[in-house]
């Protein structure tokens, strides 16, 4: 029988992780974090909080598995096709006026949204003068994203959503089959730098024209959400764009006045002049 971690024990678990591995989960929404922690314990057959503490303190492999389970890895190519249509129609024409375009995919997971953006930029004739930074808290996600490997079972949905997003080419031209697995063309990723970055604890590292962070902050508490939006504001050029997920909003944010809603259909914001 597995005994779940109580609310009173959660701060100690979070403190152990921060001290031992440098990851700070104190700003994550507790209910969501707790559910994922319990699922991890069932997966690893860790029966109580004392055993969990022991493994976290003494077994780095357990923590690697924990990080894989606790972080959000749900993504797909051209997810929400209407969003990519809006990017193409209202944002890219403005970005095209810059000699060099810098884009940050914050919380890129296993890379499918990055691949989608590369295709969008390629078809708009902008990829060659764009630098894309794709970051995630999970090193395994970065490794997967950098490899370009996808799942054959996903390709039918990816192809459909590519055309729904306004794709004009043959989607199959953007990937190759290697060892029975689809792999995104390396040429598309030539302008992408994949690296680990922790939104909860790390600072800005460049100045960007567009930041995408979709469906990541829904797992953060209000304080951490405000901190991350402040980080994005500091990282955007004046007039730069920030794209959030459908369930995310700036209405209650302390940084709300720094942005204007740029799209009525999508959560795309522009940093005010």
| Helices 155-164/112-123 angle, 10° precision | 40
Q: How far apart are the first and last CA of the chain?
A: 58
Taking the C-alpha atoms of residue 189 and residue 82, their distance in angstroms, rounded to an integer, is: 23
Pairing of strands 130-136, 192-196: parallel
Question: What's the pLDDT tens digit per position in 22-57?
Answer: 888 888 888 888 888 888 888 888 888 899 999 999
What pLDDT is recorded for position 32?
82
> Contact 35/219 with Cβ under 8 angstroms?
no
| 73-78 average pLDDT score | 85
Nearest to 115 by CA among 135, 145, 74: 145
**Whether the predicted pLDDT of 64 surpasses 70:** yes
Say how far apart CA 230 and CA 211 lie, in whole Å. 12
pLDDT tens for 182-210 read 999 999 999 999 999 999 999 999 999 99
Strands 268-271 and 236-244: antiparallel
Parallel/antiparallel/unpaired status of strands 268-271 and 259-261: antiparallel
- pLDDT for the residue numbered 176: 97
Q: What is the pLDDT of residues 208-250, one digit of tens each?
A: 999 999 989 988 989 999 999 999 999 999 999 999 999 898 9
Domain with CATH 3.40.50.150 in the chain: 81-271
DSSP class of residue 3 equals P
Specify the pLDDT at position 72: 64
What percent of the chain stands above pLDDT 70?
98
- For residue 208, the model assigns a pLDDT of 98
Question: In this model, does residue 158 exceed pLDDT 70?
Answer: yes
pLDDT tens, residue by residue, 8-25:
888 999 999 989 888 888
92-107, pLDDT tens digit by residue? 999 999 999 999 999 9
How many whole angstroms separate alpha carbon 200 and alpha carbon 224? 7
pLDDT at 236 (0 to 100): 98
CATH code reported for the domain at 81-271: 3.40.50.150
pTM strictly above 0.85:
yes
Closest CA to 66 of 102, 100, 20, 112: 20
Q: Tell which residue, 105, 126, 142, has the closest CA to residue 244.
A: 105
The band of 124, judged by pLDDT with boundaries at 50, 70 and 90, is very high
d(CA 58, CA 54): 6
């Amino acid at each position: 029988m597995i005994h779940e971690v109580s609310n009173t024990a959660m701060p100690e678990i979070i403190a152990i992780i921060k001290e031992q591995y440098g990851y700070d989960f104190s700003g994550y929404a507790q209910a969501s974090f707790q559910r994922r922690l319990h699922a991890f314990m069932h997966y690893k057959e860790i029966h109580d909080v004392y055993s969990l503490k022991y493994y976290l303190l003494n077994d780095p492999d357990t923590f690697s598995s924990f990080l894989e389970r606790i972080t959000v890895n749900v993504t797909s190519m051209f997810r929400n096709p209407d969003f990519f249509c809006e990017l193409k129609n209202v944002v890219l024409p403005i970005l095209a006026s810059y000699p060099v375009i810098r884009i940050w995919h914050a919380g890129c997971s296993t890379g499918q949204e990055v691949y989608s953006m590369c295709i969008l930029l390629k078809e708009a004739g902008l990829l060659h003068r764009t630098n894309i930074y794709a970051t995630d808290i999970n090193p395994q996600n970065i490794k997967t994203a950098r490899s370009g490997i996808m799942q054959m079972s996903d390709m039918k949905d990816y192809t459909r959503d590519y055309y729904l997003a306004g794709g004009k080419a043959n989607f199959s031209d953007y990937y190759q089959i290697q060892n029975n697995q689809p792999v995104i063309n390396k040429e598309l990723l030539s302008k992408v730098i994949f690296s680990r970055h922790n939104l909860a604890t790390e600072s800005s590292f460049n100045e960007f024209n567009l930041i995408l962070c979709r469906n990541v902050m829904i797992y953060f508490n209000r304080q951490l959400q405000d901190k991350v939006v402040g980080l994005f504001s500091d990282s955007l050029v004046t007039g730069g764009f920030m794209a959030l997920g459908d369930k995310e909003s700036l209405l209650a944010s302390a940084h709300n006045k720094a942005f204007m809603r740029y799209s009525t259909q999508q959560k795309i914001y522009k940093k005010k002049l």
